[in-house]
Structure 1
Amino acid sequence: MSAAVRYGVNYTPSQGWFHHWLDFDLDAVRADLDSIAALGLDHVRVFPLWPYFQPNRTLIRPRAVEQLVAVADAAAERGLDVNVDGLQGHLSSFDFLPAWTRTWHRRNIFTDPAVVDGEAEYLRTLAAALADRPNFIGMTIGNEVSQFAAGPHPDPDRCTPDEAEAWLRTLLAACEKGAPGRTHLHASYDATWYQDDQPFTPAHAARLGALTAVHSWVFNGTAQRHGRTGTATEHHAAYLIELAKAWAEEPHRPVWLQEVGAPAPLIPAEHAAAFTEATVTGALDCADLWGITWWCSHDVSRDLADFPELEYGLGLFTNDRRPKPAARTLARFIEEARPYAPALRTTALAVDITPGRSVCAPGGPVFEAFARLTADGVRPTTVLADRAHDAEHLAARGITEVVTPDQVTE
């Protein structure tokens, strides 16, 4: 691990949202990246929309790929590294799946061999186009693509955990083939950790790919249950970072807080800066943190219809590129260059998911015990219950005490 944590942002174009790929304006992108770089951030996560880039299974549009490379080069000119999410997939409540996977061509995006071959070639092509760019971090397979695999999606492409793992391994290999040696990973939303029937599992998240990605959103029942200033709310990101470590086979596998934001009205606009301060402070208290990437860069324009209300105001910048209080808070962390000196977390909470992963969800015994320990001043981590007596594993992680949820809450 680097001695420094990376700070970045998920890039949401100020003009046209992600539909900007249809009316690509590099000058507008450059202006957006100027505002991002002015905060001192060092990387952006970029989202090509899959149907725009691969409208037919055997057509990956060269012009679209060139535009993606142009975005990466513009970022490099401003000192910004780039991670690229390939399969979009799902963004801000909208699904973007190509027509060759839907309706009359309905095929499972995780298990159909022809579809998976098309996905692999798409990811390989994007990775290869960027492989020689020094500022290219690597590929993320897609943005929370796991949400297509189970409910509450209204029309899921169901698969088993074994099929999900095979899909992940195939697509990670395609990324590696296109850009060998880069940091390639996959990213799921928090159903991976919390939802009993989600086929993308914590083991997949913590063991496949170059590092573990977690996405922290407190509208998942956390803020509703604990309030905007509750310990569980302000430390939700830290909880997910530490929860991910329970399944990791490498004691110090890096974890990337790849998405985190301040969603209104649960986090009112006037409280966004305080929430940002608390969330980042909590995350920085976790060891093996690769980076923090805020969602998102620029607000969604009110000219665009049908977004959930909270999506319009998640940006660090207004739609006309003015920094908001949360942006200034994040910039202060960077400017102060606080040494990354996370706490030694010697107390671990035993995680037994035999009843189901929902024990880790808001209201579940693992979740609530972690919040109570944190509120009491303990800096807990987690360990799988079947490793709770593995002296070698505990020693490698610096754990000297293991407690159960019942012991914490009794």
Structure 2
Amino acid sequence: MNDRKAAEMPAGHDETPRFGVNYVPSKHWWYSWLEWDATSILEDLRAIAGLGMDHIRVHLLWPVFQPDPSVVSAVALKRLRELLDLADHPDVSLDVSVSVLDGWLSGFTFLPAWLSGRNMITDSDAVCAELLLLDTLAAHIGDHRRFLGFDLGNELSVPNGEVPAERGDQWASLLLDHCERIAPGRFHVNGIDNQPWFETRTFTPQAAATQGSASVLHAYPYWTGAIKRYGTDGTGVLHLGEYMAELAEAFSPVRGRPKWLQEFGASPVERPADSIPQWAASFVRNTLSSSGMWGCTWWGSHDIDRRFSGFVEYEYDLGLLTVDNEIKPTGARLRDLIKELRDAPVRPATRPVALVLPDSRKLGLQVADRFFALVDDGVRPALVTSGRADDPAHLSARGITELVHF
């Protein structure tokens, strides 16, 4: 799964799901774009590959890459190209998804100074600058054998929560279509968090389930409130990714559209550290029971070095590896799980019973409660929108024979 063909195969739901990590550089976090250390990055990537991963998601810092709306940093571009070269090292062989407009990252908002007073989604001059950045990136890395595709940015509904969702959808469509033109055939996505799915914030679930190469899922028991609502080992914590995957399936016009669990993870802040490995394994297996799963990508590869004092406590211990590249228990458990799943993949569950979603722009945990109650009753339900509940062809295509209404 690590050659050029694999990198260009977006419809991976007919293949073994892919496994990866959001790369967090061990020595300098993403300040690495300024404090460049190719030797330590190569050591990190070797350690990630040693876990059985086949891809990483990397994060640009927008102010570093585009300090002026009409200027893209040549030094930053060179370092990004070098990172892809390191990912292509024979000891590594990792494909690379590049998250561009970051934006919101690990609890900080990184926005260029020139964006002050403008909105990155609604301001036409800002959008022109974004297109220039994408064009320049594609010119420098678009031909690289390890370039998987562009991610517009990380969780952009967080700093853009006031933008009407319909406007956000138009912006995402414009940029994703542009990505396909400048880097055709690659795996381009919009890295949304749970809010567009749960609250129709900045983007609609309809757009999230149709735009780009895959529907993106960020499924954190902590940040969604699931762990507080259901307890550390509650059904809603173990099956949160599955619920979100079925939500994406419900809004997709195409059965089995690729879905990417782009971020998931757990911190000792939310649960005992020794319980994380088993939770992670169960969470992956449950999520993969939904059809069309392209892959699962943990946050993050490494812990954050505690010499950096500005992060909230939750962020420091999310890694599968320490800052010295030692494998943590969760890393070891996922490494073993990946071996198991490549030999014996999870078979998607048959879902003849479907829960009909209410006509609401809020589809969060108050709706998920009913889904998890059915799981507790031994049913692995599908979800269907109310507009499709009366469509026999749609229900038949998905194998749905029974509807459950709220």
Q: Give your verdict on TM over 0.5.
A: yes
**Structure 1 residue 180, shift from structure 2 partner:** 1.3
2:16 corresponds to 1:16: no
Q: 1:25 aligns with which of 37, 55, 59?
A: 37
In the other structure, the counterpart of 2:62 is 50
Residues 29-108 of structure 1 aligned to structure 2 (within 5 Å): 29-77=41-89, 78-102=92-116, 106-108=117-119
1:124, 1:177 within 8 Å by CA — same for their partners in 2? no
The CA RMSD over aligned residues, in Å, is 1.2
**Structure 1 residue 339, shift from structure 2 partner:** 2.2
2:109, 2:159 within 8 Å by CA — same for their partners in 1? no
* Residue type at the aligned position of 1:179: A
1:141, 1:187 within 8 Å by CA — same for their partners in 2? yes
Q: Deviations 1:227-271 (Å, cap 9, x if unpaired)?
A: 110011011111111111111111121100000001332222111
Residues 173-322 of structure 1 aligned to structure 2 (within 5 Å): 173-195=177-199, 198-219=201-222, 220-322=224-326
2:246, 2:382 within 8 Å by CA — same for their partners in 1? yes
Q: Deviations 1:316-336 (Å, cap 9, x if unpaired)?
A: 111111111111111111222
2:145 corresponds to 1:145: no
In the other structure, the counterpart of 1:155 is none
**Structure 1 residue 107, shift from structure 2 partner:** 0.8
Q: Deviations 1:97-123 (Å, cap 9, x if unpaired)?
A: 000011xxx111111111000011112
2:235, 2:372 within 8 Å by CA — same for their partners in 1? yes
**Structure 1 residue 127, shift from structure 2 partner:** 2.7
2:351 corresponds to 1:345: yes
Classify 1:376/1:135 alpha carbon distance in 2 versus 1 (closer, same or farther; 3 Å).
same
In the other structure, the counterpart of 1:153 is none
**Structure 1 residue 183, shift from structure 2 partner:** 1.2
Q: 1:112 aligns with which of 105, 120, 123?
A: 123
1:251, 1:393 within 8 Å by CA — same for their partners in 2? no
**Structure 1 residue 135, shift from structure 2 partner:** 2.1
Q: Distance in 2 between matches of 1:403 and 1:331?
A: 38
* Residue type at the aligned position of 2:73: R
* Residue type at the aligned position of 2:347: A
1:206, 1:245 within 8 Å by CA — same for their partners in 2? yes
2:166, 2:203 within 8 Å by CA — same for their partners in 1? no
**TM-score normalised according to structure 1 size:** 0.92
In the other structure, the counterpart of 2:4 is none
**TM-score normalised according to structure 2 size:** 0.93
Q: Deviations 1:25-58 (Å, cap 9, x if unpaired)?
A: 1111100001000011100001111110001101
**Structure 1 residue 131, shift from structure 2 partner:** 1.7
**Structure 1 residue 16, shift from structure 2 partner:** 1.2
| SS of residue in 2 equivalent to 1:148 | coil
**Structure 1 residue 9, shift from structure 2 partner:** 0.4
- Aligned residue-pair number: 389
**Structure 1 residue 367, shift from structure 2 partner:** 0.7
| SS of residue in 2 equivalent to 1:186 | strand
In the other structure, the counterpart of 1:361 is 364
In the other structure, the counterpart of 2:8 is none
Give identity over the alignment, percent: 40
2:179 corresponds to 1:165: no
* Residue type at the aligned position of 1:128: A
**Structure 1 residue 177, shift from structure 2 partner:** 2.7
